[in-house]
C-alpha cells in the first residue's frame, strides 16, 4: 500500500490529502451500507464517538468526524497524541475539524454509553508493535456494546496478521473499512465474523 501510495503521489496524479478525503468518504458510505437506518435522518441527532490516533489513521478519523457532522451527527472526538506531531495530512484534517468542532485528549475510559457508533481511528497500517496501556479503553468499548467501525483495521491488530501478532491487545470491532485492497488480516477478521468493506481510493 505504501509503495502504491508513494507512486500515485509521486506521479502528481493524486495527493495524500485526496487519498485521505477519499478514505474518509468511503468510511461514511460504508456506515450507510452496514447500518441502513443510519441513512435516514433521526428526530434526535445520532451520536458518533471518534477515537483519533497520532498518525494518518487518525487523519482519516478527522475526515469522518467532519463528514458526519456535515450530515447532522453529533460528534465527540478524542485524540490520543499531540496535534503538533501529527503527520501533515492528518494535521490538515485536524485543523479542518477544529474549525467546526472540539476535541479532548483520550481519557483512560471514555464514556461510550450515549454513542450510536464508535469510530476506531487510533492505529492502522502504522502499528509497529503491540499496544500497551489501551486495555481499559478497549474493555470500556467492549462493555458499552455499541457498534464499532474500525478504520482500515481494528487498532492493535497487525495488518499482515503475522503469527506472533495473534493475541496482541486490540479494540473490539463490528466492521472494518479498508482501502484499495484487503490486507492479510482482513481474511482473519471475516473468519472471526467481523464485517469487512473495501473502498476504492483511486490508487
Ligand atoms: N494508501 C493508503 O492505504 C492510505 C492510508 N491512509 C491511512 O493511513 C493509515 C496509516 O497511517 P500511518 O501514519 O502510517 O500509521 P498509523 O496512523 O496507523 O499509526 C502511526 C502512529 O502510531 C504510532 N504507533 C505505532 N505503533 C504503536 C504502538 N504500539 N503504541 C503506540 N503508538 C504506536 C506511531 O508512532 P511510532 O513511535 O511507531 O513512530 C505513529 O505515530 C492507514 O491505516 C489508513 O488509515 C490514508 O489516510 C489514506 C491512504
Ligand atoms: K483503526
Report the CATH number at residue 97: 3.40.50.10260
85 is in which domain, residue-wise? 2-38+47-199
Q: The complex's ipTM?
A: 0.97
Whether residue 60 is annotated as binding a ligand: the answer is yes
Are 194 and 176 in contact, with CB atoms under 8 Å apart?
A: yes
- The one-digit pLDDT tens for each residue of the chain (203 residues) are 888 888 999 999 899 999 999 999 999 999 999 999 998 888 899 999 999 999 999 999 999 999 999 999 999 999 999 999 999 999 999 999 999 999 999 999 899 999 999 999 999 999 999 999 999 999 999 999 999 999 999 999 999 999 989 989 999 999 999 999 999 999 999 999 999 999 999 98
What nine digits make up the cell of 31?
456506515
Nearest to 148 by CA among 112, 124, 183: 112
Q: Which residues pair with 150 in a beta bridge?
A: 120, 176
Ligand 1 center–CA 37 separation, angstroms: 31
Which of 10, 18, 123 to mutate for ligand 1's pocket (most ligand atoms within 8 Å of CB)?
A: 123
Are 94 and 121 in contact, with CB atoms under 8 Å apart?
A: no
Q: State residue 5's pLDDT score.
A: 87
Q: Provide the residues around ligand 2 (an ion) whose CB is within 5 A.
A: 120, 124, 150-151, 155
Task: Say how far apart CA 8 and CA 24 lie, in whole Å.
Answer: 18
Give this prediction's pTM.
Answer: 0.97
Number of compact structural domains in the chain: 1
Nearest to 183 by CA among 53, 51, 57: 57
Ligand with an atom nearest the CA of residue 149: 2
With a 6 Å cutoff on the Cβ, whether 179 touches ligand 1 is yes
Task: Say how far apart CA 55 and CA 105 lie, in whole Å.
Answer: 15
Q: Whose CA is nearest to atom 36 of ligand 1?
A: 128
Are 157 and 170 in contact, with CB atoms under 8 Å apart?
A: yes
Angle, in degrees to the nearest 10, between helices 88-98 and 56-70:
30
Q: State residue 77's pLDDT score.
A: 98
Amino acid at each position: 500500500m505504501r509503495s502504491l501510495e508513494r507512486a500515485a503521489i509521486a506521479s502528481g496524479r493524486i495527493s495524500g490529502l485526496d487519498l485521505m478525503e477519499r478514505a474518509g468518504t468511503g468510511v461514511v458510505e460504508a456506515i450507510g451500507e452496514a447500518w441502513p437506518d443510519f441513512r435516514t435522518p433521526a428526530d434526535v441527532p445520532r451520536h458518533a464517538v471518534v477515537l483519533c490516533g497520532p498518525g494518518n489513521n487518525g487523519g482519516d478519523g478527522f475526515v469522518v468526524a467532519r463528514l458526519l457532522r456535515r450530515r447532522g451527527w453529533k460528534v465527540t472526538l478524542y485524540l490520543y497524541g499531540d496535534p503538533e506531531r501529527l503527520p501533515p495530512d492528518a494535521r490538515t484534517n485536524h485543523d479542518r475539524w477544529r474549525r467546526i468542532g472540539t476535541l479532548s485528549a483520550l481519557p483512560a475510559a471514555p464514556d461510550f454509553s450515549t454513542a450510536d457508533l464508535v469510530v476506531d481511528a487510533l492505529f492502522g497500517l502504522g502499528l509497529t508493535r503491540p499496544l500497551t496501556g489501551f486495555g481499559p479503553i478497549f474493555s470500556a468499548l467492549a462493555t458499552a456494546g455499541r457498534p464499532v467501525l474500525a478504520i482500515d483495521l481494528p487498532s492493535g491488530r497487525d495488518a499482515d496478521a503475522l503469527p506472533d501478532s495473534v493475541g496482541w491487545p486490540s479494540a473490539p470491532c463490528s466492521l472494518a473499512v479498508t482501502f484499495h485492497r484487503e490486507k492479510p488480516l482482513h481474511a482473519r477478521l471475516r473468519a472471526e465474523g467481523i464485517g469487512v468493506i473495501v473502498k476504492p481510493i483511486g490508487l
